[in-house]
Structure 1
Amino acid sequence: MSVRTIMIFPEFRNENVINDIRKKYDPLVDLVLPHITLVFPFDSDLSNKELSLHLKECLSGIKEFSIELEGFSKREDEYGNYLFLNVVQGEDIIKNIHHKLYKGKLKQFNNVNDYAPHMTVGKLSSTELLYEAYDYVSECNEKFSTVVKKISVEVIGEQEESIIIIEQELNG
């Protein structure tokens, strides 16, 4: 069994801004590219072929779509102190994909009640550091726009690195 995650890896013209923020605040910056998580890490004995078929079925009828990220938010929960880059366009489509993927074969892994699409750009060790990071990034007025053309499945490697194993094109 292997821990896998389903994500969007958007590519932005001004991605260097995101990477600069992540270098400062995200311990995973060197392990995984900037991403929007659709299905959170799950450990399953589903084969990659079965997972690929599930992805294909769930994404049937979904075409490429535009997204825009802008502005930041912070979240403190039992998993840590997080700094998010907010999705401001394409949110409904991302939520729809999230809900479709958690049906059927992945239903048992859905423990997310209030899914809000975002890109994590920081995980801080304390609330105080989170608020300092939030103050810093709040001065960033950049907008990040792109077209999502595919959904990816990664395996989380032994060193927490991201290894892409499946890519499903969106072509409706």
Structure 2
Amino acid sequence: MKFGIVIFPSKKIQDYANSLRRRYDPHYALIPPHLTLKSPFEATEEEIKNVVQKIDAIARNFNPVSLNITKIGSFKPVNNVIYLKVESPEDLVSLHSELNSAFEGDQEYNFVPHITIGQNMSDDEHSDVYGSLRMTKVQFEDTADRLHLLYQLDNGSWTVYETFRLRKE
């Protein structure tokens, strides 16, 4: 099965992201707006028990993390993805690093905390959409106190397997 680790932002941020994703993200119906901490990876039913224990142990070493969204950005020329930029406080970067070093598998890209709002666009469409969105004033502040281990269903959608509270002890 395919799994991933994410943070879901507050409803207010999700509603804003979805107002854009509805038009620009073909994955809109497959997963709610999220910040990916660990890219999709494969694990068996037996292996996932160990993964759950590792995530729980990591979550116990972190306090809730601040999420400050300050602008709309793009990954062009690497790919035609448009996103909400999440300022990366040190604790968010550390959480990402711990999760990625705890599990095997290469990370395809450097960690840029973001919430995708548009993807799989042609160059012209990306240029038009990003050109109209990049000057949009965006300002959200949120605190995330949970991580979510997701798994992918046969229809391509993602659902929560388990939730972990960030609770430094």
Fold match (TM-score > 0.5): yes
Shift of 1:87: 0.7
Counterpart position of 1:163: 159
Alpha carbons 1:31, 1:162 under 8 Å: kept: yes
Q: CA separation of 1:76/1:44 partners in 2, compared to 1, >3 Å: closer, same or farther?
A: farther
1:122-148 CA-partner distances (Å, limit 9, x unpaired): 103311111111122224213122110
User: Residues 19-78 of structure 1, C-alpha deviation per residue, up to 9 Å, x if partnerless?
Assistant: 111111011111111100000011123533211101012222201122111211111367
> Larger deviation: 66-75 or 14-23?
14-23
Which structure shows the higher strand fraction? 1
| TM-score, structure 2 normalization | 0.89
State the alpha-carbon separation in 1 of the partners of residues 15 and 123 from structure 2.
Answer: 26
The counterpart of 1:96, out of the listed 83, 94, 97, is: 94
Unmatched 5+ stretches in structure 2 = none
Matches within 5 A, 1:3-14: 3-14=2-13
Local SS of the residue matching 2:85: strand
- Aligned to 1:81, the other structure's residue is in SS state coil
Code of the residue aligned with 2:148 in structure 1: it is S
Residues 39, 107 of structure 2: 8 Å contact kept: no
Instruction: Give aligned-pair identity as a percent.
Output: 19
Q: Across the two proteins, how many residue pairs are aligned to each other?
A: 167
Q: Superposition RMSD on alpha carbons, in Å?
A: 1.8
Shift in CA distance, 148/31, structure 1 to aligned 2, threshold 3 Å: same
Task: In structure 2, give the amino acid aligned to 1:147.
Answer: T
Distance verdict in 2 for CA 1:14–1:57, change over 3 Å: closer
TM-score (norm 1): 0.88
1:14 Cα deviation (Å)? 5.0
Within-5 A mapping of 1:45-64 = 45=44, 47-64=47-64
2:25 & 2:34 partners in 1: Cα distance? 12
Unaligned ranges ≥5, structure 1 = none
Extract structure 1 runs of 4+ deviating beyond 3 A.
none
Give distance in 2, aligned partners of 1:51 and 1:161.
21
